[in-house]
Every structure is written in C-alpha cells, then in structure tokens.
Amino acid sequence: MTCDNLTPVTILLETLVLCSEKAADIARLIRTQYALFPTLIQHKSHKESGTDFAADVMTLADVLIQQSIRHDIGKEFPSFGGSVYGEENSVFRAAQSGENVQLTIPQTLDELQSILSHVLEDQQSLAGALAELILSPLSHFRLRSAVLEHLVSISQLDVSAQLDLTKFAVWVDPIDGTAEYVKGNKCDVSSEETRAPSLDVVSPHVFRYRISGTLDNVTVLIGLFDRTSRLPVLGVINQPFFPRVAASLGDSQSSGRLFWGSTLGGSYLSSNCLPSSAPSITKCFPDWSLQKLSSSSDSMTDVGKLRVACSSSDFDCLERILKDCTPPVDDDLPPELVFVSCAGAGFKLLCLILCQLDIYLLLKPNTYFWDTCAPHAILRALGGGLIRLKPALSYVREQSMTGVCDVDPSTLREFEVHYSVKPSDYTDLSCCCNLDGLLAYRDGRVACQFLHRLARSANAVNELFD
C-alpha cells in the first residue's frame, strides 16, 4: 500500500471513507439498544468537556468509534494511529459497578469482548456483536451502498500525490450532535413539528427559523491536517441516520450517506458535494426545512434570502446588531436575512457545503478542532473557507474606517483556522478551541459583504464578543 514510506492520497482517502462507515455502523448498532441505551450515557466533568454548556454528555458510541478509527488507521498505516486525535479519552464507566474501564482495542475477538463485558456487564450478546463489528476488516464495508460509489470515484481520481504521513495528523469527532443522538428522534415528514418549524419575524428584513434536531443532525467527522501549514487538507463526513429509503433505525444497508473532499494534489470532491447548478445566494429558501438534508420533497418558497446558520444563544446578540441595519447601496446580497437555528456544528457545516446555507456564524468558543477539521477541508476544496471571526471582523471594520469597502476575498485566507495536535495531558483543551468565533463560507465574496454588514454597527466587534 505504501512505497518508500509514502502513502498515495487515494489509499488514505479510501481508508478514511471506510473508517467512517464502520463508525456509522457502531453508532447505529448502539442506538438500537433502546432499553439499555440510557445506561450507555454518562456526563462529562467540566474539564473533560471543555465547554461552557451546563451538561455535556458522551455515550459508549463516542468512545468506541474514536478508538475504532484510531485502531484501523494504525493497522493500515503502522505508527500513524498515534497521530489520530479526538474529543474523547478511552475511559468509560460501567453503569452498575461504577468501574472505569479502559476501552483499548486488542487484536483478538475474545479479548475485546471481555473488555466490553466489563462495561456492558450482563449484556454479553451486545458485547459480542460490538466486538465482532469493531474488529471487522475495513474490506467488509466496501460493498455497502453508501460507500461503493465513492470508492469507485476515488479509484478514478487523477491524482498521483503521495504523502509522508509523519507530516500530517487526524482530528476525529466520533459523534457530532451527541444530544440529538441521545434523544434519538427520527426525522418524520408527517410530523407537524418537523414540517412547521418555528418562524419568527424579527424585523421587516430579518427572520429566524428554529428547526428541531433529529438523528439526521448526527455526523461522524474525520479530518486530516498538515502539521506544517496547520491547514486541513482532507475531510470525510458521514451522516449515519440519513434515510436513503424507508428503513428501520439500525438498517445499515438503507440509511446513511457520506461526503469527502481533499486539496492534496489538487481539489477533489465527492460528486454529492457539488450543486446541480451554480450556487446562488438568491437560491430559494426551504419553506420548512433544509431540503437536501431532509427526506422530504416539499417545494420551496420563491423569495430569495441570505441564509445564515447560528446557535440559539448567539441569535439574540445578532438580532440587536442587524435588525435595524440597512444594507449599503453597493451590497448586492439579498436584503432579507434568515437565521437558521439547528443542532450540530458538523450538520450546519454540511448544510453550507451542500449550498443549503450561505454563511455559518458562531460567536462563542463552543467548537473545537474535532468539530471543524473535516468540514473545513471540504469547504477549502470547494473554494470556501472557515475563518476566525473576531480578527476578520476587526480587519474589515478597520478597512471600512479608512474608506476601503471592497475587501479582496483572498484576504480571508489570512484568518483561516489553523490546527494543532491535542496536548498530551488532555487537561487544557483551550489550544484546541476556536476561541475567536467562526465564520464559514463557500463564496468569499458573500463572506466579505456579510462581514461589512456586521461591521457597519459601531459596536459590533465589542458587542459580539463580550
């Protein structure tokens, strides 16, 4: 698979795609254990979570998926497994005994089943099923319908680049959207709640959609970054519960889909990342949900709006700044803004990748490298980016004050998020946190004009980040 210690890009990409599908299978298998599932959830301490959320949780799936990906990458590329970093550590507490179990992945089925039995205690059949799945060779997943077309596309890529893997590292988010994974709500297009999200008219030009989270919001994220440039260069996103056809929750043959993109040796993308027509900021906004990320074929409205994803907690601040903001005459963005609140950083970034959003905005330091590395890589392959909001907004404001109102979109590259490895003590995660907020985009021109719109408020920078 490698020559002179170099690894072909296509071989690495194929491996990460297969790892993501095995991860999706683990997520589906554990989530179907309805009676047992509440015992497979535990709360993190503040140090473990590194977030400001009142309650951050992890599940057995989080730990096993991260360990499985690390194990399989290390098996395919010896010594590279130590360069795989993730949100979780490898310890999970048994529900009944309270014993902290180190969930390492051994080489034999009996050993792994024994380790899992300490966590699952009297659930020996599940321990056996999980052990068998985790130790399944990646080749076992090649013929999956969610994977096969991607492997064919990857094999046909015209890319000859080969990598010295010592110069790269991987960030993994095993389950992004853990809260939605725990709730376990399926997307039901017949549900009145799903079909009619809350719509608030904030001002004549500002609207807000609140879209309820479901298992569709859950993603597995695997991103590769260059240790020297510190930029992401390859990303895989797997959406385990997306219903390709009517299927039961755990049907791995009928649910799930994935996306990938790379800038190694050129820009390469899975075909489903490419819009069927040229992206347009005046693209119609879905009348009830994000069209490509739902299983509905409902029609869309005719009104063009700029679609901005943000968290519920950020919206109040953005409302104060933008509700009375009149776009400048040279701003050719749609005057109407629609703020979309939905769960999962990975999900929102996937919406952006698929042209269902125009901007993803995050003010608070609530995302980490594991949340953003994979989608950031795909956005870069699309010509977009993911930047640190605070310095970018300060720069645009300074330029505006000097009379420069037309910032070159290429300037945004100066503010891109840069990645590093996880600290060895795992206690201080601030170096892995996106502390300056985020702005993600597909079109640099749209991003620059939106930053100008924000900067027109005299106190925008201070107010947004107080």
CA 452 centroid distance within chain: 27
What is the pairing mode between strands 84-86 and 168-176?
parallel
Q: How many CB atoms lie within 10 A of CB 267?
A: 13
Known binder of ligand: residue 26? Answer: no
Residue with tokens 């890319």: 159
CA proximity to 449, closest of 381, 359, 338 = 359
Cα three-residue angle 186-188-189, rounded to 5 degrees: 150
44 three-class SS = coil
311 three-class SS = coil
Residue 195: burial class (beta carbons within 10 Å; 0-12, 13-18, 19+) = middle
**H or E element: which one contains 396?**
helix 389-401
What per-residue string of b and e applies to 83-106 under the rule 16 or more CB within 10 Å gives b? Answer: bbbbbbeeebebbeeeeebebebe
Report yes or no: 187 and 216 within 8 Å, Cβ to Cβ: yes
The sheet carrying 168-176 orders its strands as 84-86, 168-176, 219-226, 232-243, 255-262, 268-269
Report yes or no: 322 and 454 within 8 Å, Cβ to Cβ: yes
Two tokens, residue 410? 């290429």
- Taking the C-alpha atoms of residue 98 and residue 92, their distance in angstroms, rounded to an integer, is 9
Known binder of ligand: residue 358? Answer: no
Two tokens, residue 393? 């907004």
- Taking the C-alpha atoms of residue 420 and residue 438, their distance in angstroms, rounded to an integer, is 17
CA proximity to 306, closest of 341, 360, 358, 354 = 358
Query: How many alpha carbons fall within 13 Å on the CB side of residue 227?
Result: 13
Known binder of ligand: residue 371? Answer: yes
Residue 262 phi/psi, 5-degree rounding, is: -150, 150
Known binder of ligand: residue 87? Answer: yes
Give the annotated binding-site residues for Mg(2+): 87, 173, 175-176, 371
Would you list which residues are annotated within the binding site?
Answer: 87, 173, 175-176, 371
